[in-house]
Amino acid sequence: MFSLFVVSFAYVCYFTYIKCFKTKSLSFEDKNIRAFDFIKMDIFTDMDVLTVYSPYREIEDDVKYIIIEYEYDDKIMKYCTDKYYKFPMYTSSEVVNRVFSKTILCATINGVCVTKELKMYLGPNTNFYVDIPGPPLDLNKILKMDCSTGLIEITDNMGNKEQFPLPWIPVWNPSII
């Protein structure tokens, strides 16, 4: 019985020493390696939609637009472009890692909530890909609804409400300064 007490006491002392007094090595490096992981690409033509699971594909002339779905930093994102595209869209040095930025909390078009769909197209720099060459984002293509007339209301995490008349070319400045 006495030996059980001694072993239990030694274990408690050792556990307390490990948790309280042993120094931990500190590292200021980002352990997460952020990478672009291709999921799929939807190719829209006049007749139908073709889903491809490889980013390397020859694009025919009758393509209207392409929607690329990918994962970056454990978030699923989408990118809409014409038949000329590059994947990944950014190099690791082109992605801006902000400590704190404005994000979209709520977005409505004529009273219809489109927050989830719109946030997927923000991209890793949270600016609707305006910093890379290509056609601007077309709301009619990505939301599959009529976005030619009306009003879009966007509320951000700073409490600001902004209204834009439609048609609106998505532009978002994530900087809080």
- Please report, for residues 8, 10, 13, the alpha-carbon distance to residue 5 in angstroms, rounded to integers and kept in the order given: 5, 9, 12
Q: Which of 44, 61, 43, 60 shows the shortest CA–CA distance to 52?
A: 43
Cα(123)–Cα(133) distance, rounded to whole angstroms? 14
pLDDT tens figures, 119-139: 999 989 888 988 888 888 888
Q: What is the pLDDT of residue 148?
A: 87
pTM: 0.75
pLDDT tens figures, 72-106: 988 999 999 887 888 888 888 888 887 788 889 99
Task: Pick the more confident residue, 25 or 51.
Answer: 51
CA torsion through residues 8, 11, 13, 16, sign: negative
Cα(14)–Cα(10) distance, rounded to whole angstroms? 6
